[in-house]
A and B are shown apart, each in its own frame.
Chain A
Amino acid sequence: MSRRLALYAGGLALFLLGAFPLIWMLSTALKPSGEIFATPPTLVPKVVTLENFQRLFSETNFLTYFMNSVVVSLATVGLTLSVSALGAYGLTRFSFAGRERVAGLILMTYMFAPIMIIIPFYILVKQLGIVNTRLALVLSYTTFCLPFCLWLLRSFFQSIPLELEEAALVDGATLRRAVWHVVLPLALPGIIAAGIFTFILAWNDFLFALVLITSDELKTLPVGVNDMFNATIVDWGLIMAAGVMITVPTIAFFAAVQRYLIQGWGAGGVKG
């Protein structure tokens, strides 16, 4: 009995640790400005208002930042997913000398810290004349999203027995048909999971966007919101509303693919 009690007490503590700060963020975002600074603070707002969200959309460039984040993250997903699906298929379905070494090299490229990459990356992008463009940002996200996807998809493809594909081929299917009708449906959950994690990685990035983007109309959410924070008087209601808006897509996507996470994680996948 006491053991069960301890388990639930621990579970509750862990729940509060993980979720309470987020609940507090939501609560602050829904309060009118007077109540935000009230003593004692209220957990459930006495007056629930969407005023902060409304101001976020009407008085700031939040919507622009949001759209930029969506465009850049989706472009990153499109690029890395298509390239890495081909690559991972090549890595698992064809044997050639040096294959394992290539796989190791890919993992190694993933271990370089972003701060090591951004300095030369900025100089090179500057010389190419594409600094302050979405293209530069998407390419910079490829530096960490591509190795991540390759590694994750490689482990997914490895778990699909080669025999299934061979059986289809023996039955007279072309390799293209075998891949399309046998491998792809089986790999689809993995591909979707990789796509969503890539989206989250790109969506959350701060450093590359901070360095590569200078004009306000191209800024993505993290940098845009940080600018709001640096205003002389910090508008907590507004900032917490922005926090809620940035978090919603992440949490929603994450909830959708949570069960694949452990698999990807086990495969050596996540950096940060």
Chain B
Amino acid sequence: MKRHALAGWLLLAPSLLLLGGLVLFPIGYNFWLSLFDKHAFMPVQRFVGLQNYVYFARDPEFWSSVRYGLIYAGVTLVLQLLLGVAAALLLNEGFRGRNLLRGVVLFPYMLPTIVAVTLWKWLLNDSYGLVNYVLVAWHAVATPVPWLGKDYIMASLVMASVWQFFPFVVVTYLARLQTIPPELYEAAKVDGAGAWRRFRHVTLPQTRNVLFVIVLLRSIFMFTKFDTVWLMAGEGGVSRYVRTLPVYAYARSFTYLQAGMGAALAVLMFLLLLVGTAVYFYVLRDDEAVA
């Protein structure tokens, strides 16, 4: 039987056309757009070269959005990693109800962001929220904490985000844990290794690769996260205390209607990610597990 290469390409053609037209072309157009002073819906545009980029280099709001983005991505990454790995280790043990629990743990990740965020806003409500009720009733705090006020909004956002996204770490890590040969653990046990040393010397080396990928993906996803951040803080008021780069790019494009500037911010975000990823690979280049 002969399978023609041409048939393969033909079958792929619709996919490639759609991806080319709907993803690659817009991304390319975005770079072009960033060189213009362009209104988001009026047909006026003026070529300005790199002027948008020059503007942002001296724009304090840009730098603060980078800083907020790094804080948000960094803190949520560490917390979801700790929580997710711990949960995966637990779910890798045998106990009754484990399969049900494996499903339940994924709920937060499958929820629409709008639901996850409104739910947390309700739990964290100043006057009627369950969290403040419990904290006051248990005398952990004297007066209700203004969770959604300017001092705590970042902490609340981090909390809601970690809750929403840690299941990704659980599933990915668990999938790898299940493929570790049990003999390795038995051998370690025979050698008298306790639980911590078995984790340190068997589990961790075995799961290095997957941790490498999880850290990479989660950093990218959290640094570019829009909906959770935007929905949590809205557009006015406290939003400037959590205005990350994607939210700033959105605001420039669709609130101030400066599409060229928004496009430039998207390009800057892309470049930052590119540099970050390159550094990540470079720093871990000698790690034979990664290669």
Contact = CB atoms under 8 A, between A and B. Distances in A.
Most A-side CB within 10 Å, residue of B125, B168, B266 = B266
B8 interface: yes
A150 B15 contact: yes
B14 A86 contact: yes
Contacts of A146: 15, 18-19, 22
Contacts of A40: 133, 137
Nearest to B97: A11
Given A166-B1, A246-B115, A91 B95 contact: no
B263 A96 contact: no
Contacts of B97: 11
A14 interface: yes
B93 interface: yes
Interface stretch (B54-62, B150-158, B184-192, B248-256): B248-256
Given A83-B18, A112-B27, A119 B12 contact: no
Determine the main DSSP class of B at the interface with A. Answer: helix
Interface stretch (B74-82, B99-107, B201-209, B280-288): B99-107
Interface in B91-147: 91, 93, 95, 97-98, 101-115, 118-120, 122-123, 125, 128, 130, 133, 137
Contacts of A271: 221
Contacts of A106: 15, 19
A203 B115 CA distance: 12
B253 A119 contact: yes
Contacts of A221: 112, 114
14 contacts: A4-B95, A8-B95, A14-B91, A18-B107, A86-B14, A95-B3, A96-B5, A106-B19, A115-B224, A120-B29, A120-B30, A143-B23, A229-B118, A266-B175
Shortest Cβ-Cβ A-B pairs, 7 listed: A94-B8, A90-B11, A113-B224, A87-B15, A96-B5, A120-B26, A204-B112
Interface of A: 4, 7-8, 10-11, 14-15, 17-19, 21-22, 24-25, 28, 36-37, 39-41, 83-84, 86-87, 89-91, 93-97, 99, 102, 106, 109, 111-124, 126, 139-140, 142-143, 146-147, 150, 166, 169-170, 200, 203-204, 206-207, 211, 221-222, 225-226, 229-230, 236, 239-240, 243, 246-247, 250-251, 254-255, 258, 261-262, 265-266, 270-272
Given A112-B27, A207-B226, A246-B115, 20 more contacts: A17-B163, A19-B107, A22-B107, A87-B16, A96-B5, A109-B23, A115-B266, A116-B30, A118-B250, A119-B30, A121-B26, A140-B22, A146-B18, A147-B23, A206-B227, A225-B114, A226-B114, A251-B107, A262-B175, A265-B171
Interface of B: 1, 3-5, 7-12, 14-16, 18-19, 22-27, 29-30, 33, 38, 40-41, 87, 90-91, 93, 95, 97-98, 101-115, 118-120, 122-123, 125, 128, 130, 133, 137, 163, 165, 167-168, 171-172, 174-175, 220-221, 224, 226-227, 231, 234, 246, 249-250, 253-254, 259, 262-263, 266, 269-270
